[in-house]
Amino acid sequence: MDESFARDLLQKYRDGTLTDQEMAMLESWYLHRAKSASINVDAEQLEKQLDTVWESLPVNQEKVLRKRARVISLLKWTAAAASVVIIGTIGLNFLRDATTQPPVNNPVLATDAVPGDNRAKLTLANGQSIMLHEADNGKLAQQGQSAVIKTRQGEIVYKFEKQDTNANSSDLAFNTISTPRAGQYHVKLPDGTGVWLNAASSIRFPTVFSAEERVVEIMGEAYFEVAKVSKNSKRLPFKVKSGTQVIEVLGTRFNVNSYADEGAIKTTLLEGSIKLNAGSGDDKGVLLKPGDQARLLISSRKNEGQAIRPFVVNQINTRNVIAWKEGYFRFDNVGLPELMRQLSRWYDVDVVYEGNVKEYEFVGQIERNTNLSKVLRILELGDVHFRIDNKKIIVTN
């Protein structure tokens, strides 16, 4: 794409007349320049050059973002960037062919699935189930000293009149809130802790916490904002169990991804401090600081005669981890299988593969309120091919 054509596209973007294909070409040109320039200029020079281009793209305007469900490139690219990205992939393929090939009719474009929404099931201590997204606002149930309230915002709140200071683990009554695929939900636990559940996830918790500690169990993915609770001037620990892993905190914000099909439990700390324990007898645990992500392999074992560290800890961009809570898919060097697993859970579709999966790595962002057809259209422009069979996506690479 020459400079004059790019300027024309930029002007059409400002005027709001840019088509989806032209949007892909414009973003691809931007990233193509980033990748090409990285060969001959250092990171500082490249960043200055790309800032000029980026300032011409009004991607930070909220109205534009709301009007267009689309992929957004990351704000900065440096000479060290080496990923194939969603729009970068479009650039390497679509940019080369778009001016010479007419649009192709594809069954993907005629097949759609709406994104997930707020829906969950509450299972009470007596086994009764309540579909929370169908229930009216107000009091839903009485669980011992706790009342279960659905607020006008659609959240679940537990309120109790008086804490039972003599309660112990054997006396506790447990509730479970679970989300289906294509569902998410927010609950405020009896101690005031906020929990956001991603799709296909669940949390089990007592309707009144004991006086010694606060313990919950999760499956899937959940984001926590743990309330600080004290008794006799001593902080009550809050523990999260996911598989064999136990997280212990006092008051903090963190995310836990423990989907079984991801192969590892990923715990990411945003604020405060937490201690992780893998549940094995020789595990001394690990302390995380803000920005740390700990990975615990679900199927990790010790090699014969060789000990392994149960946790691998790295500093990461936490925005990518909690993007789901903020209404986005955000990819940072994510492979195609991981990306498709996220889509499968959010759109309630199954994904199967024919042949070998190409080694893609994606970087970018998509609004989670985007219909599936638009997401697949973007991926198809990047040379990822699909066939649709009812609620099954068949990747035909």
Tens-binned pLDDT, residue by residue, of the chain (397 aa): 566 777 777 777 667 787 766 766 666 565 555 444 443 444 444 444 444 444 444 343 343 333 333 333 322 222 223 333 444 333 333 323 333 334 445 555 456 888 999 999 999 999 999 999 999 999 999 988 889 999 988 999 998 765 554 555 556 789 999 999 999 999 999 999 999 999 999 999 999 998 889 999 999 999 999 999 988 888 899 999 999 899 999 779 999 999 999 999 999 999 999 999 987 666 678 999 999 999 998 765 444 443 456 899 999 999 999 999 999 998 888 888 999 999 999 999 999 999 887 777 787 788 899 889 888 887 877 678 888 888 899 998 6
Q: Which of 212, 247, 267 is the last residue of a domain?
A: 212
Residue among 358, 348, 365, 345 at smallest CA distance from 395? 358
What number of CA atoms fall less than 13 Å from residue 13's CA on the CB side? 24
Same domain for 69 and 125, yes or no, is no
Same domain for 71 and 3, yes or no, is yes
Residue 109 lies in a domain: no
What are phi and psi for residue 98, nearest 5 degrees? Answer: -65, -35
**Integer angstrom CA distances of residue 35 from 72, 360, 384:** 16, 16, 21
Amino acid at 268: T
C-alpha span between 287 and 290 (Å, rounded):
10
What number of CA atoms fall less than 13 Å from residue 388's CA on the CB side? 16
Same domain for 194 and 139, yes or no, is yes
Same domain for 11 and 96, yes or no, is yes
Q: How many residues can be counted in the chain? A: 397
Residue 158: domain span: 118-212
Residue 110 lies in a domain: no
Q: Which of 184, 212, 240 is the last residue of a domain?
A: 212
* Residue 124 near residue 141 (C-beta atoms within 8 A): yes
